[in-house]
Structure 1
Amino acid sequence: MTKKEILVAFSAGESPALGNIWRITAKKTDFYLDPHAEVEAIHLSAHGPNSEQSEGHRFHVRVDRKAAARIDASGDFISHTIPRKGRAFSGEELAPGVFRIARIRRVWDLQRPRFLRAAAIPGPLPDISDGRSAARLSKLLPPNGAADVDLVVSYNKPYWPGGQRSLRDQARLGPLRNEAGMWLTATSYQRSQTTHPTPEGLRLPLPKPGEDPNRIMAGAPEDTANGEMYWFVETITSRQFIEASRDRSE
């Protein structure tokens, strides 16, 4: 059976999943990326040609306002500046008809023993059905390291950044194909944040002595020389920083 969905989890060896389990889905002429959660508030979409959009593609990030309100009412923090109808972005063109649309980054702080309890997600893992495949990125990162998953959409055939190296490194996830004839690939990388820094606005402060660690996800677009891609960064900050941010947003 052709796989239509990929689940990607992050851990520290045999630890529970740390941070979100991400879901990558092919549905009709589209692709979707979102955190697998009981309440799903944000998703990134890549729309291919269809009856409403006869040619070309559209990349888009959207927040479900009702879901966001439920998350906020539960005591968790969510804040964003995405317009009600969502935000379109161009994608980073890597080659003709090839676009890097997103990067999911998990930083090494999630794996640090002092933060493991705060980073672990509660509840059972999702089921793996015939239409799903799954990957767990469990290798321990060095200090200041990051585990990245880059998502690329292409026409005509799957595209893997780095060519055969990603095959030798067993870093490939997918590919998925939609009904518009487009392909989506995901490639995992281990990178240094010194040489491949997290965008400035997505680097959040770690807990100070006496503060309570808390897992958080931040996201934003980044301009590159060849277009715009979207970042999702999972990291650790303090509950005190989150509460102060909540106060400023009200």
Structure 2
Amino acid sequence: MTDQVTFIQRSLRHSVRSIDALVTAIMLPVAIMLMFVYVFGGAIDTGGRYVDYVVPGIIVLCAGFGSAGTAVAVALDMTTGVVDRFRTLPISAAAVLTGHVTASVIRNVASTLLVLGVALIAGFRPVADPLNWLAAAGLLLALMTAISWLAACFGLIARSVEAANAITFVAAFAPYLSSAFVPADTMPAGLQWIAEHQPVTPVADTLRELMFDLPVGNEAIVAIAWCVAGIAVGRLGAAYLFARR
């Protein structure tokens, strides 16, 4: 446990020192939210106030942007040889990756809180009760953990920091092909099929239902299943890849 705490602190210190990456992970989702609300919101019909529709999607987007730094940080550790030195020390090998993933979740939580604060100023008005907020927080933490472990896998697969950054850049487009910004049923048939069969859509839809006290449908089960699968695949995949590097 001490090893894990040490590596979490290490990853957080690196995050604070890398100001450009930290600002990108935290401020970019806010900028995107403001752009969609004030620039595109008037042209998008969601059957209600667009700010209430898009904010849950932006929160999901936060997890992707915040986790991009995880892949880069892991790739940096693997390519600079620092991990080889860690392996000569009497520490848990899993602590290295756990530190990166936990720090990523902490960054994502900070980004999400900032987005919610700005969204409230912009007119976001959720009506969730405490139980629904608790459920939404649990789903978000599961999503952040899943994406962070998968990002760690990307960092282990990549042979350079640039490659890790490119992989996460491509993955960050997933929310745009979902119901995060517009209803899936307004998309062309091909894109609608993609939107309905990828993890972002059920997570974003479930968050909306929880935040606005709407009936929670089967998409909640699908969202949880995606998150659990992501955590399992990411955790096991990262352990396997780390052992082989």
The answer to whether the superposition gives a TM-score over 0.5 is no
Give the structure with the larger strand fraction. 1
TM-score normalised to the size of structure 2? 0.30
Larger RCO of the pair (alpha carbons < 8 Å, separation 6+): 2
Q: Tell me the TM-score normalized by structure 1.
A: 0.30
